[in-house]
Amino acid sequence: MAAIPPDPLYVPLAELDANKVEPIDEYREGGLHPILVGDILGGRYGVFDKLGHGQSSTVWLCLDRRSRGFKWCAVKVLAAQVSTEDSRELAAARDLRVLYLKGSHLSPPFDDFWIEGPNGRHLCLVSEVLGPSITDVLVTDPRDILFQVAESLQFLHEHEMCHGNIQPANIRFRIPSLRRVNEAGIGNILGPPRSETVVALNEEAARRGPTRVYESKAFRIDQTDDIEIAVIDFSATFPFGRPPDFSSLPIEYMSPDIALDVDFGPSMDVWALVATIVRLRTDSPMFDGTDRDTLMRDFELKMGIMPNPYNEAYRLRIWAGQGPTAVLVLDPTRPASMPLAIYNFMVTQIIQTAFPGGDAFAVYTEGQQRIMTRRPGIDDVNLPPREYDFTLSDEEAASLADLFRRSFRYPRADRLDLAGVMSHGYFEGRRSRIKGDPGRLRGLFENLVLEHRKFWLFLLVIFIANLIRTWWVHRELVYGTCWAIPGWEYSCYFVKWGYFGSFLPY
45: nearest Cα among 69, 22, 68, 72: 72
Q: Is 102 annotated as a binding residue?
A: no
Task: Give the type of residue at 275.
Answer: A
Helices (H), 80-226: 88-97, 143-158, 183-190, 203-208
Dihedral angle sign, alpha carbons of residues 286, 292, 298, 304:
positive
H/E segment holding residue 40: strand 40-41
Decide if 295 contacts 254 (C-beta within 8 A): yes
Length of the chain: 506
Q: Do the strands 195-197 and 171-174 form a parallel or antiparallel pair, or are they unpaired? A: unpaired
234: nearest Cα among 369, 134, 101: 101
Note the Cα 363 to chain centre separation in Å: 27
Long-range CB contacts (< 8 A, 24+ apart) of 222-226?
Answer: 222/175, 222/176, 222/177, 222/379, 223/377, 223/378, 223/379, 224/177, 225/174, 225/175, 225/176, 225/177, 226/176
How far apart (Å, rounded) are the C-alpha atoms in residues 474 and 472? 6
Helices (H), 107-210: 143-158, 183-190, 203-208
Peptide bond into 193 cis (omega under 30): no
How far apart (Å, rounded) are the C-alpha atoms in residues 258 and 247? 7
Decide if 112 contacts 41 (C-beta within 8 A): no
Bridge partner list, 298? none
How far apart (Å, rounded) are the C-alpha atoms in residues 310 and 337? 11
DSSP state of 32: P
In angstroms, the Cα distances linking 93 to 98, 166, 441, 457 are: 9, 16, 17, 29
Note the Cα 40 to chain centre separation in Å: 26
Residue numbering of the annotated binding site for ATP: 76
Residue numbering of the annotated binding site: 76
